Chains A and B, each alone.
Chain A
């Protein structure tokens, strides 16, 4: 139990990176998704880069990022973001492109502008996909933050949970390793639950995924 107390500040640090990366992924992923779907041409030319970033293991790029980034927090943020943003982009693109064709016809029939279709039709119909993407990327942001910490190390007072695991493992303080592991898992679970609740709340009126059999 004493271990949990001593790990608390580290948890906050890891959590900070995770949340920053997640927020970055949520906003950046949405923006990038909208950009990519605005023209087929853009999608064809830019989407491969997103795939490249996704399939390259973050541990492999992390050293580069750590060298290039001005401070460790920024480096950690970039690493975690790289891991987290892809599911959001990919899901947003799928969502924006899978609008009901008849509804699209309807908007055209009434002469809706591009931005009207985007905000009143494509974004709302992409929302379930986007939220599903967020749920995946919430967990990935945490994993990304932890992995990046492993690589980056970061000594001194500013160390996150991953560094504490490394440190405790070197000293063979196994209970503390477990405590840190449990904290990381719990954080991941909480993030997932919060995102699921948000998703259910936003979709409760209309989407099958958010409506229970009794509703």
Chain B
């Protein structure tokens, strides 16, 4: 464990501690079923706009972490702070956030315009007062001509664009995206990735982008946080020092390949880690093992087969 925290600390940018946007300290999450989804997450997100990808195997708690950051779910331990943010009565940093879900999550009974108007409508703004603001958000994602269309008349990619526009319409500082383009076809996804980068730069946003694709994360992000399998912990924090705007040429470059290799290695390590931990209880701290074994009590004998590979966590 100490090995990883050293790695994490090393990758944290030097000036980031001044007035960070979000500080996540010691966040853990266990569900009532006994599953520990997250454990000891420490993450600082600086005020300087950053494109941060959260990468990890499926079921590692990336989405849960995002939901905790957004306030949709309380953490079981640790806390989330927004030092530079004004909080509302319930202590939630509401206006700062935009959230894009795995699916477009549009209201099928409302036009695209009304879907985008919703966040502002909830805040009590009149339709006329925010018309320009909504249309501007639609223009940004290239849907200005589809304001009156209904979601089902749009293609999957266009629906996702509308969803991104809805997240941007309140002009948030942070955009949380939970595997937003995973369900789209390859070509549409590449196009949306490029457009997302443009939006990110144009709006001075911090993006937290959950994905399980190494290639997508390297192309998009300037910082990749790799998480291990359940219970999710941060095992690597990798910077991608490649200038923006990134073109498709970057995807072909050797530096892109090198980054992909590094990130893949970290990801592979995270998966190996997880199976090692479940194999040899004596090299791991007992506190989480107790929880882990109670959650997976019956499968305890199985992973012991992997004991041979467990000696050092990684070189």
A binds B: yes
Stretch at the interface among B13-21, B104-112, B231-239: B104-112
In A85-127, which residues have CB < 8 Å from any B CB?
100, 102-103, 105-112, 116, 120-121, 124-125, 127
Instruction: Tell me whether B105 and A100 are in contact (CB under 8 A).
Output: yes
Given B88, B94, B151, B170, which contacts A206 in the complex, CB threshold below 8 Å?
Answer: B151
Contact digits for A29-41, partner B, Cβ 8 Å, 1 yes 0 no: 0000000000000
Q: Check if B99 sits within 8 Å of A105, measured CB to CB.
A: yes
B269 interface contact, C-beta 8 A: no
Binds A, one of B115-123, B129-137, B190-198, B281-289: B115-123
Q: B200 at interface (Cβ–Cβ under 8 A)?
A: no
Contact B92 A111, beta carbon cutoff 8 Å: yes
Tally chain B residues at the interface, Cβ within 8 Å: 27
Closest B-chain residue to A112, C-beta based?
A: B122
Tell me if A207 is interfacial: C-beta within 8 Å of chain B: yes
Q: Please, which residues of chain A bring their CB within 8 A of the CB of B121?
A: 120
Q: Are A124 and B94 in contact (CB under 8 A)?
A: no
Q: How far is the CA of A108 from the CA of B92 in the complex (A)?
A: 11
Q: Which of chain B's residues has its CB closest to A128's CB?
A: B109
CB–CB A107/B152 < 8 A: no
Inter-chain contact A125/B122, CB cutoff 8 Å: no
Q: Are A103 and B109 interface neighbours, CB within 8 A?
A: no
Chain A residues within 8 Å of B150, by CB: 205-206
Judge if B72 is at the interface, Cβ distance under 8 Å.
Answer: yes
Could you tell me if B92 and A127 are in contact, using CB atoms closer than 8 angstroms? Answer: no
Instruction: Name the interface residues of B27-61: CB closer than 8 Å to any CB of A.
Output: none
Minimum Cβ distance to chain A for residue B90 (Å): 8
For the complex, what is the distance from the CA of A205 to the CA of B114, rounded to whole Å? 14
| Chain A positions within 8 Å of B227 at CB level | none
CB of A108 within 8 A of CB of B109, answer no
Q: When the two chains form their complex, are residues A109 and B71 in contact, meaning their CB atoms are under 8 A apart?
A: yes
Which residues of B lie under 8 Å from residue A102 when comparing CB positions?
A: 101-103, 105
Q: Which residue of the partner chain A has the closest CB to B97? A: A109
| Cβ-defined contact, A206 with B119, below 8 A | no
Alpha-carbon distance A211/B245, docked complex (angstroms): 43
Are A108 and B72 in touch, CB under 8 angstroms?
yes
Considering the chains assembled together, what is the distance between the CA atoms of A47 and B148 in angstroms? 40
Select B88's contact among A103, A108, A111, A207, beta carbons within 8 Å.
Answer: A111
- Min CB gap A70→B, angstroms: 43
As a 0/1 sequence over residues 210 to 242 of chain B, the CB contacts with chain A under 8 angstroms (1 = contact) are 000000000000000000000000000000000
Q: How distant is the Cα of A116 from the Cα of B118 in the complex, in angstroms?
A: 10
Contacts of A116 in B (CB 8 A): 122
A106 CA to B67 CA in the complex, in Å?
A: 11
Q: Is the CB of B107 within 8 A of A110?
A: no
Residues of B within 8 A of A103 (CB): 105, 107
Q: Which B residues are CB-close (under 8 A) to A109? A: 70-72, 94, 97, 99
Whole-angstrom distance between the alpha carbons of A105 and B67 in the complex? 9
**Which of B67, B70, B152 is packed against the most chain A CB atoms within 10 Å?**
B152
Given the interface pairs A110-B123, A116-B122, the reply to whether A105 lies near B108 with Cβ below 8 Å is no
**A207 contacts B108, C-beta separation under 8 Å:** yes
Expressed in whole angstroms, the Cα–Cα distance for A211 and B70 within the complex equals 36
The residue of chain B having its C-beta at the shortest distance from the C-beta of A208 within the complex is B152
Interface 1/0 per residue, A141-182 and B, CB below 8 Å: 000000000000000000000000000000000000000000
Most buried by A among B70, B105, B110: B105
User: Chain B CB within 10 Å — which of A100, A116, A121, A205 has the most?
Assistant: A205
For the complex, what is the distance from the CA of A103 to the CA of B121, rounded to whole Å?
A: 15
Whether A205 and B109, one on each chain, are in contact in the complex, defined by CB atoms closer than 8 angstroms, is yes
Given the interface contacts A110-B122, A206-B151, A206-B152, does A105 sit within 8 Å of B101 by beta carbon?
yes
| Chain B residues near A120 (CB-CB < 8 A) | 107, 118, 121-122
- 16 residue pairs bridging A and B, Cβ less than 8 Å apart: A102-B101, A103-B107, A105-B72, A105-B99, A105-B101, A107-B122, A109-B97, A110-B122, A111-B90, A111-B94, A124-B109, A125-B109, A206-B109, A206-B151, A206-B152, A207-B108
Using CB atoms and an 8 Å cutoff, list the residues of chain B in contact with chain A. 67, 70-72, 88, 90, 92, 94, 97, 99, 101-103, 105, 107-110, 118-119, 121-123, 150-152, 170
For the complex with contacts A107-B122, A120-B118, A206-B108, 16 further pairs of A-B residues with Cβ separation under 8 Å are A100-B105, A102-B103, A103-B105, A105-B67, A105-B101, A110-B170, A111-B92, A116-B122, A121-B107, A124-B109, A124-B110, A205-B109, A205-B150, A206-B150, A206-B152, A211-B152
